[in-house]
Amino acid sequence: MPTTDRTRVQIFQVSTLYGAATAAAAVDAGLFGAPGEARRLLLVSNNAEIPETAVRLETMTGYERVAARFDGVLDWNEAVHPHHPGTWAPRPEETPLWQRVLRTAWDLDDAPVELVVESIQVNPAKALAAVFAESSVHVYADGLMSYGPTRDELPQSLACRIRRVLHLDLVPGLRPLLLTEYGVGAELVPDEAFRAVLREIAGASRDSAEDAALTAAAAAAPTALLLGQYLAALGILTVEEEEDLHVRMLRGAAAVGHRSVVFKPHPTAPAGYSTALHEEAARTGVRLTVLDGPLLAETYYERCRPGLVVGCFSTAMLTAAHYFGVPVARVGTRTVLERLTPYENSNRVPLTLVDHLVPDLEGDAPPAVPDTTRAGLAPLVRAVGHCMRPSAHPGLREETAAYLAAHGSDPDLAHHFPAERLAELGLRAPARA
């Protein structure tokens, strides 16, 4: 559909199917206006370190059903080739030229453009916003990071254009901290709209090459799903440590009575990553199925309805709990939290949430659907958020100091506030036993 008569154009930048599903649910819920009010384009980017060897979004099961909501699909990698989409950004003096190039390539003419992006702090979203320097920007949250502070300070010329943060209600009752220092408000993507998109994606799996694998997994009558995250790629764990983490997940699931288990490795994990798991499964008498196709974990939830989901700090854990009512448990979360550097690493708040809400599979509490209304969650997240980026949230300093005075020696909370970080910020916690 070519742009005519200055028809408004909305460009939705996505890099994951989960993010694309979130954007599609927002469109379905009318959060971007009624159908036909704007020309909607899906801009796909592959931000993997080596995009040529990573799973392409377009090959993911269910992608076509999500993409069908849009009037066209664009390829950001192709647009900026040979540059890497995660590192390339135009020089300020080049942005007018780049806008002319993209308007021509994407058939935008002189139509007004709205941008809908993920992770506005980094490329490609930041580069896209720089090219379309007059465009309003909507940010959608692809996961749990929106509950934490903005990763980096944004130029005011960009911050003033951001209209809202759209997010899933993964932790009901908790408000995102992302971009609040710029006065940007948060807006929920309705639960039912997102669930409907997930059902579509699961339905697409019945017509896909992965259907046989899903059918075989279901036939094994699994009652637990283990989620791999490939933390070795982030330099947090070694490959051997991460393999051991998966073994501990299996061992823990077996200890609470699960005899048939599915392991879903991270899409970028090495092919031999499940070898140690198979050896442990044979030793403990657990039936293990590895589901390594280009599928969302949520597709498995829809098709197979597990009784337990185990992970480290994957968003898919809280998706299982909130949207499917599946009990969840964590393994290795605290170790990863303690190793995470620097303190302001964006993964800290997702780790904090899982550590605080989700039972430890190797502890005494049974797996459960987390109670996100429990007292103390929001103050903990705000205190961690202030310690991550104090300059962005100076108004939280007094509240954080009071929180530390009350809870800083609590062994269930103290590990969120290393003494070295508190010393850097001039904050104090009670002496720890």
Cα–Cα distance between 289 and 55 in angstroms, integer? Answer: 21
Helix intervals (H) in 208-260: 211-219, 239-255
Residue with tokens 């904090």: 352
Q: Confidence class of residue 270 from pLDDT cuts 50, 70 and 90?
A: low
* Predicted pLDDT at 432: 66
Co-location of 95 and 68 in the same domain: yes
Report, as an integer, the average pLDDT of 191-203. 95
150 & 75 share domain? yes
pLDDT band at 4 (very low <50, low <70, confident <90, very high): very low
In this structure, are 292 and 221 located in the same domain? yes
**Same domain assignment for residues 269 and 343:** yes
**Are 348 and 421 part of one and the same domain?**
no
91 and 234 assigned to the same domain: no
Joined together, the tokens standing for residue 248 give: 């501990």
The residue from 163, 194, 225 where one domain ends is 194
Q: So what's the pLDDT on residue 271?
A: 64
Q: Are residues 347 and 390 both part of a single domain?
A: no
DSSP code per residue over 83-130: S-TTT----GGGHHHHHHHHHHHTT-TT--EEEEES-TTSTTHHHHHH
pLDDT digits (tens, 9 = 90+) for 5-14: 458 999 999 9
Give the contacts of 133 (CB within 8 A, at least 6 positions apart).
95, 99, 157
Residue 76 lies in a domain: yes
Q: Is residue 411 part of a domain?
A: yes
* pLDDT band at residue 428 under the 50/70/90 scheme: confident
Task: Output the pTM of the full model.
Answer: 0.93
- Residue 85 clears pLDDT 50, i.e. is over it: yes
Is residue 90 in some structural domain? yes
Cα-based distances in Å from 206 to 67, 130, 302, 303, 348: 18, 41, 12, 9, 37
Whether residue 64 is found in the same domain as residue 148:
yes
In a domain, 432, yes or no: no
Query: Which stretch of 2-6, 316-320, 392-396 has the lowest confidence by average pLDDT?
Result: 2-6
Tell me: the pLDDT tens digits for 251-265? 999 999 999 999 998
With a cut of 80, say whether residue 280 has pLDDT above it. yes
| Range ranked top by mean pLDDT from 203-212, 294-303, 341-350, 402-411 | 341-350
Q: 382 lies in which domain range?
A: 377-425
Given 164, 194, 224, which residue is the final one in a domain? 194
The domain tally of the chain equals 3
Q: 298 vs 116, which has greater pLDDT?
A: 116
Can you give the CATH number for the domain in which 261 is found? 3.40.50.1980
**Are residue 14 and residue 123 in the same domain, yes or no?**
yes
> Are both 225 and 255 inside the same structural domain?
yes
Q: Does residue 176 fall inside a structural domain?
A: yes
Report the mean per-residue pLDDT for the chain: 92
pLDDT of residue 257: 95
Q: Is 314 inside any structural domain? A: yes
**Predicted local confidence at residue 5, as pLDDT:** 45
- The verdict on residue 14 lying in a domain is yes
Residue 2 is assigned to a structural domain of this protein: no
| pLDDT-derived band at 106, boundaries 50, 70, 90 | very high
Alpha carbons 287 and 262: distance in angstroms, whole number: 8
Question: Is residue 143 domain-shared with residue 230, that is, in the same domain?
Answer: no
**What CATH code is carried by the domain that includes residue 137?**
3.40.50
Look-up: residue for tokens 């997994």? 217
- Domain boundary residue among 324, 357, 390? 357
Alpha-carbon span 269 to 246, nearest angstrom? 12
Same domain, 228 and 183: no
- Rama region for 128: left / alpha / beta (φ>0; ψ in -120 to 50; rest): alpha
- Judge whether 88 and 123 are in contact, CB under 8 Å: yes
pLDDT in tens, 202-225: 888 876 666 777 887 888 888 999
